[in-house]
């Protein structure tokens, strides 16, 4: 597996080795020993899957008291996946990185604890899977406003306004949310 740093060094892009022939393909999406050899130790406790329609924006979500690390991958379709650094002591505080994840490119994004995460659907539909290092705690669920001008994520919108949940439409700006040390 190829592991690459992004513009924020702690956010990593994983590219699995794909073995294919006329029957199809095989790939390992996670192997603890490979990650441990690179100093990455994950203890996953939950795996989630979502399906979203074109133009849907989910996020930017985070848990403050129970921060989650996530390995995100797309199993059908295409998304623009984003991580925003919410660690006030970080030199990249308030900055974001994004990557196009597709079923075809099979890339995965590691979003560490201390980051908000979100994605925007570019294809007709997209199925996204992500493994989490902490359980979901609904009482600790927070959202950073997707259009916060201070963060200024450059979303590749296919229409002027994305499809949002009520929670995401009411999300707060960076100066209004709980932050990490």
Strand ranges for the chain from DSSP E: 2-5, 12-15, 18-21, 24-27, 46-53, 57-63, 70-76, 78-85, 96-102, 108-111, 115-121, 125-132, 141-143
Among the options 19, 120, 130, 136, which is catalytic?
Answer: 130
Q: Is 130 an annotated catalytic residue?
A: yes
Among the options 61, 64, 117, 142, which is catalytic?
Answer: 61
In the chain, what is the straight-line distance between the N-terminal and C-terminal CA atoms, in Å? 32
Question: Is residue 69 classed as helix, strand or coil in its secondary structure?
Answer: coil
Q: Is 117 an annotated catalytic residue?
A: no
Mind telling me the catalytic residues? 61, 130
């Amino acid at each position: 597996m190829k592991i690459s740093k992004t513009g924020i060094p702690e956010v990593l892009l994983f590219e699995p080795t794909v073995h294919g022939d006329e029957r199809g393909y095989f790939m390992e999406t996670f192997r603890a020993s490979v990650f441990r050899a690179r100093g990455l130790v994950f203890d996953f406790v939950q795996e989630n899957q979502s399906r979203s329609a074109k133009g849907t924006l989910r996020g930017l979500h985070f848990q403050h008291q129970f921060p989650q690390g996530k390995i995100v991958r797309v199993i059908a379709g295409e998304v623009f996946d984003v991580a925003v650094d919410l660690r006030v002591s970080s030199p990249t505080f308030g900055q974001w990185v994004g990557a196009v994840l597709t079923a075809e490119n099979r890339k995965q994004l590691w979003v560490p604890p201390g980051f908000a995460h979100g994605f925007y659907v570019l294809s007709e539909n997209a199925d996204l899977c992500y493994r989490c290092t902490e359980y979901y705690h609904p009482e600790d669920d927070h959202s950073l406003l997707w259009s916060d001008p201070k963060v200024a994520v450059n979303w590749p919108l296919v229409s002027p306004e994305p499809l949002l949940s009520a929670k995401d439409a009411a999300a707060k700006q960076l100066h209004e949310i709980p932050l990490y040390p």
